Structure 1
Amino acid sequence: MDSGMETGGIAVSGSGGDPTDLVAIFGTMEPPVPWRAMQVGALSFLLSEQSIRSIKWHGVELVRAISWPVRDENWATYPCVTLNDATARSDGRITGRIEQEVSGGRLGLVVEFSANDAGLLTVSVTMTPVGGPFATNRAGLTVLHPILGLSGGSVRVTHPGGAEEITRFPEQIMPSQPMKEITGLAYAIGAAHVDVSFEGEVFEMEDQRNWSDASYKTYCVPLKEPFTYEIGAPVTQRVRLSLRGDAPVVRRAERAPALGVEPLGQVAPAIGLALEEGWEGDAAARDLIAGCGASHLLLRLRASVAPAFLDEAGLLAGRLGAGIDVELLLEDAEPFAAIDTLAAKLAAAGIAPERVLALNEAYLKSYQPSATWPEGPQPHELVAAARRVFREALIGGGMLTNFTEFNRCRPDPAVCDYVFHGNSATVHASDDLSVMETLEALPQVFSSAEALSGGLAYRLGLVSIGMRTNPYGSSVSENTVQLRETMARADPRHRGLFGAAWAVGVLASTAGSRVEALCLGAPTGPFGLAYMRQRFLQPGFDRGEGVVVPLYHVVRLAREMAGHPRVALSGLPEGVAAYGATVNGATRIMVANLTRSPQSLALPRAAEVTILDGASASAAMKDPNWLDTAPRKQQSDLRLEGYAVAMLEMEG
Structure 2
Amino acid sequence: MINDENHSRLFAPSETVEAAAWRAELRNDELSDITFNGIPVLRAIRAVVRDHDWRTLAPTVSRVAQHADGATTLLLDIDFAGFGSSYTGELAIHLMKDSVKVTFDGVAPAAFRSNRIGLVVLHRPDDAGRAVTIGSPGGASSPSFFPKDISPHQPFLDVSLMEWERDGTRFRLDFQGDVFETEDQRNWTDASFKTYSTPLSKPFPVDVSAGDRVHQSVLLTATPGPVVPVLRPGPERVLTVLDGGTARVPALSLSATSATAPRTRSEPIPGLDALLLELAPGPDAEGSIRRATDEAMDLDVPLDVRLSVDSPDRIGELLDLLPLDKVLRLAGFDAFSHVTEPGLWDELKDQARQRGFSGALLAGARSHFTELNRNAGRLPPDADAVSFSITPQMHATEVPHVVETLPMQRLVALNALRIGSGRPLHLGPVTLKARFNAVATEGDEAAAEATDPLQPETFTAAWLMGSIAALSVPGVESVSYFEATGPRGIRETGGLTPAGELLAAVAAVRGCEVLDVAGEVPGLVFYPVRDGGRTVLFAANLTAKSLSVVVRLPGGDSTNLELEPWTAVVRRVD
- CA positional deviation for 1:122: 0.2
Task: Assess, with a 3 A threshold, how the Cα gap between structure 1 residues 64 and 29 changes in structure 2: closer, same or farther.
Answer: closer
Q: What does the per-residue CA deviation read over 1:125-157, in whole Å, with 9 as the maximum and x for residues that have no partner?
A: 0112335x5431101000000112x11221111
Match runs of 1:51-66 below 5 Å: 51-66=30-45
TM-score, length basis structure 1: 0.80
- CA positional deviation for 1:28: 6.1
- CA positional deviation for 1:251: 6.7
Correspondence for 2:75: 97
Could you tell me whether the CA contact under 8 Å between 2:94 and 2:102 is conserved in 1? yes
Correspondence for 2:431: 464
TM-score, length basis structure 2: 0.91
Q: What does the per-residue CA deviation read over 1:220-247, in whole Å, with 9 as the maximum and x for residues that have no partner?
A: 0000111111345322100001134445
Q: What does the per-residue CA deviation read over 1:374-428, in whole Å, with 9 as the maximum and x for residues that have no partner?
A: 9x96444344335434541211110111101111223535221100001111000
Distance of 2:239 and 2:199 partners within structure 1 = 47
Correspondence for 1:343: 319
The amino acid across from 1:345 in the alignment is L
Could you tell me whether the CA contact under 8 Å between 1:101 and 1:108 is conserved in 2? yes
Task: Assess, with a 3 A threshold, how the Cα gap between structure 1 residues 466 and 570 changes in structure 2: closer, same or farther.
Answer: farther
Task: Assess, with a 3 A threshold, how the Cα gap between structure 1 residues 344 and 230 changes in structure 2: closer, same or farther.
Answer: closer
Distance of 2:130 and 2:149 partners within structure 1 = 12
Please state if 1:113 is matched with 2:93: yes
Tell me which of 552, 556, 563 is aligned to 1:640: 563
Report the secondary structure of 2:413's partner residue. Answer: helix
Correspondence for 2:478: 517
Distance of 1:563 and 1:101 partners within structure 2 = 50
Task: Assess, with a 3 A threshold, how the Cα gap between structure 1 residues 528 and 46 changes in structure 2: closer, same or farther.
Answer: same
Q: What does the per-residue CA deviation read over 1:76-124, in whole Å, with 9 as the maximum and x for residues that have no partner?
A: 1112343x410111231100111223348953211111002x2310000
Correspondence for 2:572: 649
Correspondence for 1:529: 490
Please state if 1:299 is matched with 2:282: no
Distance of 1:176 and 1:308 partners within structure 2 = 40
Tell me which of 490, 499, 509 is aligned to 1:551: 499
Report the secondary structure of 2:337's partner residue. Answer: helix
Identity fraction in percent: 25
Which blocks of at least 5 consecutive residues in structure 1 are unaligned? 1-19, 366-373, 480-487, 533-545, 608-633
The amino acid across from 1:458 in the alignment is L
Report the secondary structure of 1:520's partner residue. Answer: strand
Distance of 2:115 and 2:250 partners within structure 1 = 39
Please state if 1:582 is matched with 2:530: yes
The amino acid across from 1:637 in the alignment is N
The amino acid across from 1:114 in the alignment is H
- CA positional deviation for 1:583: 1.4
The amino acid across from 1:181 in the alignment is D
Please state if 1:206 is matched with 2:187: no
Tell me which of 260, 265, 284 is aligned to 2:241: 260
The amino acid across from 1:101 in the alignment is D
- CA positional deviation for 1:643: 1.0
Please state if 1:197 is matched with 2:200: no
Distance of 2:8 and 2:543 partners within structure 1 = 18
Distance of 1:222 and 1:445 partners within structure 2 = 25
Could you tell me whether the CA contact under 8 Å between 1:424 and 1:465 is conserved in 2? yes
- CA positional deviation for 1:531: 2.1
Please state if 1:450 is matched with 2:429: no
Please state if 1:185 is matched with 2:198: no
- CA positional deviation for 1:253: 5.2
The amino acid across from 2:146 in the alignment is F
Please state if 1:146 is matched with 2:146: no
Report the secondary structure of 2:326's partner residue. Answer: coil
Could you tell me whether the CA contact under 8 Å between 2:235 and 2:521 is conserved in 1? no
- CA positional deviation for 1:472: 1.3
Report the secondary structure of 1:354's partner residue. Answer: strand
Correspondence for 1:565: 513
Number of residue-to-residue matches in the alignment: 562
The amino acid across from 2:330 in the alignment is V
Tell me which of 391, 394, 405 is aligned to 2:371: 405
Task: Assess, with a 3 A threshold, how the Cα gap between structure 1 residues 528 and 106 changes in structure 2: closer, same or farther.
Answer: closer
Distance of 1:438 and 1:418 partners within structure 2 = 24
Correspondence for 1:286: 265
Tell me which of 197, 202, 215 is aligned to 1:220: 197
Correspondence for 1:15: none
Distance of 2:58 and 2:291 partners within structure 1 = 40
- CA positional deviation for 1:307: 4.2
Distance of 1:352 and 1:412 partners within structure 2 = 26
Distance of 1:361 and 1:514 partners within structure 2 = 27
Correspondence for 1:272: 253
Shifted more, 155-164 versus 322-331: the winner is: 322-331
The amino acid across from 1:524 in the alignment is T
Correspondence for 1:361: 335
Distance of 2:173 and 2:460 partners within structure 1 = 35
Could you tell me whether the CA contact under 8 Å between 2:535 and 2:572 is conserved in 1? yes
C-alpha RMSD over aligned residues: 2.7
Distance of 1:640 and 1:319 partners within structure 2 = 34
Distance of 1:101 and 1:477 partners within structure 2 = 23
Could you tell me whether the CA contact under 8 Å between 2:241 and 2:515 is conserved in 1? no
Correspondence for 1:47: 26
Could you tell me whether the CA contact under 8 Å between 1:358 and 1:386 is conserved in 2? no
